[in-house]
Amino acid sequence: AYAAAKILDSSIDIKKLGALSLRGRCEKIASNLYVDVGHNELGAKAVAKKFSQEEFGGKKLTLVYNSFLDKDFKAVLAALKPVIEDVLLYHYHCEGRELGGELINKALNELEISHREFESSDMNDIKEAKNGKIYLAFGSFHLAEAFLKEYYASKGL
């Protein structure tokens, strides 16, 4: 992107670029809901570091998660394990891409992370924000889009 901008305007200096606020990067959607479009171990480590900070008081997250089969989801889950209480496996369709399915369940079992399938009642719990839990929807842009579409629809938006 920088190279293209430089072609259009040679006076652009990347050193003068301030901090960027990118949608979907540990974005707070509601008091109890965050979304991160992380899909690799590095992204998971950054999220784990953020949720280890004092502002969260050591509170563990409920992870809303799924991953494409070709990703290293075991490394992602291992990186997030210190900050998650449990995992809700969120299913969505993406044309031409296969989700990790049973291999994600196997990885969660090997990592000894409590997990189950995401249910419609979970969306109600997230929407009502009364159970004291903090939720993190973490995964591909496709997961974030599908989850947020369902979340906003459940709120009538």
100-134 residue pLDDT tens: 999 999 999 999 999 999 999 999 999 999 999 99
CA distance 153 to 145: 12
Residue 71 has pLDDT above 70, yes or no: yes
User: By the 8 A CB rule, do 92 and 66 touch?
Assistant: yes
The mean predicted confidence, pLDDT, of the chain is: 89
User: By the 8 A CB rule, do 32 and 58 touch?
Assistant: no
Residue 38 has pLDDT above 90, yes or no: no
Q: What is the pTM of this model?
A: 0.83
Q: Which residue has the higher pLDDT, 81 or 4?
A: 81
- Kindly state the helix (H) or strand (E) to which residue 64 belongs, with its residue range: strand 61-65
% of the chain beyond a pLDDT of 90: 74
Residue 88 has pLDDT above 70, yes or no: yes
Task: Check if CATH label 3.40.50.970 holds for domain 22-154.
Answer: no
Instruction: Give the mean model confidence (pLDDT) for residues 54-81.
Output: 94
Local confidence band at 136 (pLDDT 50, 70, 90 cut-offs): very high
Helices and strands (H and E) in the chain: how many = 6, 6
Q: Which residue has the higher pLDDT, 82 or 3?
A: 82
Local confidence band at 25 (pLDDT 50, 70, 90 cut-offs): low
Residue 65 has pLDDT above 70, yes or no: yes
The domain spans of the chain are: 22-154
